[in-house]
Structure 1
């Protein structure tokens, strides 16, 4: 099996950053993945005591399809976040400053309009990631699994709908489900797969048009008897992972 694409999403709900390679660290997800979020005005998120919260407390594709129209770019060394969207002036915000974070929050509040539940806040906290599950993990999907769903749905589905960190080829459809509880070698890293990824209404949103034009949840249930696509894995041993690297489940008798 082969790694075909590596993605991270610096701002929860916003566009992907495609990477050629990334260095994973034990106990962590991808660096800079879901590091930031826009907290809704009524969100209880407290940066002084960061805790995992459900996605509804933040601007997200599940509730706010229009955020798919935003093109975001984050440069970690300079801490600059660029945001642009149709009908709105582009913004470059310095996230190292309170003024820059406030500018980004005001921009998103204006963009969401009636969907904003009060003034949004730019949310960040050291060591915290705004992921869909509380555990720090890497998400993986086999391209064959997406293709099996496409065949049943009768339409093409951009893999970016499913916002995985790792897309891989060379496995049978849904083969990744068989890895639950097993270790895998991913490039130079070792991971343990621990959970299937249950899909939500975010997958309805076309990442190019920002329209809800598909029903992956419903199609998965109708044709496969579940609403799962992809898996989560924890990083046991860090290492460099690159596009083109191999992915291989570890045979149980080799685990020592």
Structure 2
């Protein structure tokens, strides 16, 4: 079974837009570079940056609760430490190296989302902690990489008679050339991606974030329910851990071992 990598993305800030990448270097036991390294914790979140422990994604500003986030585009520059947020007539850049940068970004987001006074979130970062959805499962899963089979999304789209953008699933790696839904049977198996080797560790159960149209910021498609209607489950995509590092890029082969 063989396919190829179509695209690579990371999501530096949990809940905000992804950034498309070229070549990426993976390392054993490490997560996807610069992925979910920041998170806007809600005003009542229990997350403690001085003693970071995974908390449910509901304690962060995420698409599952705030669909309007999709109307914003973000660009994080790890070298400069800056976060640019654009969209809806806005264009702001925040220097996260400065003490004022995080609070300023949080205030901007609170105003954009119409939060009540006193409900402003806090931008959190606590390396090497990552704010991945499955961090609550285990430290191993905190560093898992998410994969989506574009052919699975295409088959799902045809089954429901609706166009589904693969980016709704916010995966790090999009691939094609493997039979629809075949990846769900690979849990426990190893796959090669370019120079790297990964082990598939979990199927990805989809949440309400996938209901959001990334162009309009509106909930226009109940993806979890439609998946259940078609397949008897709400899984789309898989998580995998890096067991052999190496460079990967779009066009590289994807194969089971």
Determine if the TM-score, normalized by the shorter chain, exceeds 0.5. yes
Secondary structure, aligned partner of 1:114 = coil
Residue 96 (structure 1) shift: 0.9
| Deviations 1:4-51, CA, capped at 9 Å, x for gaps | 011111111111100111001111111100111111100111110111
| Deviations 1:156-188, CA, capped at 9 Å, x for gaps | 111110001111111111010121101111111
d(CA) in 2 for partners of 1:21, 1:175: 26
Is 1:64–1:115's contact at 8 Å kept on the other side of the alignment?
no
| Deviations 1:139-158, CA, capped at 9 Å, x for gaps | 11111110111011111111
Give yes or no for the alignment of 1:108 onto 2:109. yes
Residue 227 (structure 1) shift: 0.3
d(CA) in 2 for partners of 1:15, 1:141: 17
Structure 1 unpaired stretches of 5+: 251-256
Match of 1:4 among 3, 6, 17: 6
- Say what the alpha-carbon RMSD is for the aligned residues: 1.2
Note the 1:97-176 alignment, pairs <5 A: 97-114=98-115, 118-134=119-135, 135=141, 136-176=143-183
Give yes or no for the alignment of 1:37 onto 2:35. no
Secondary structure, aligned partner of 1:207 = coil
- TM-score relative to the length of structure 1: 0.95
Q: How many residues align?
A: 249
Aligned to 2:96: 95
Note the 1:14-93 alignment, pairs <5 A: 14-87=16-89, 89-93=90-94
Structure 2 unpaired stretches of 5+: 136-140
Residue 85 (structure 1) shift: 2.8
Residue 90 (structure 1) shift: 2.3
Aligned to 1:233: 240
Aligned to 1:253: none
Aligned to 1:221: 228
Quickly say closer, same or farther: Cα 1:240–1:116, change in 2 above 3 A: farther
After TM superposition, where is structure 1 displaced by more than 4 Å over at least 4 residues in a row? none
| Deviations 1:176-213, CA, capped at 9 Å, x for gaps | 01211011111111110010000010000011110111
Note the 1:191-206 alignment, pairs <5 A: 191-206=198-213
Give yes or no for the alignment of 1:209 onto 2:210. no
Secondary structure, aligned partner of 2:133 = coil
Secondary structure, aligned partner of 2:92 = strand
Secondary structure, aligned partner of 2:69 = helix
d(CA) in 1 for partners of 2:116, 2:40: 13
Is 1:199–1:228's contact at 8 Å kept on the other side of the alignment?
yes
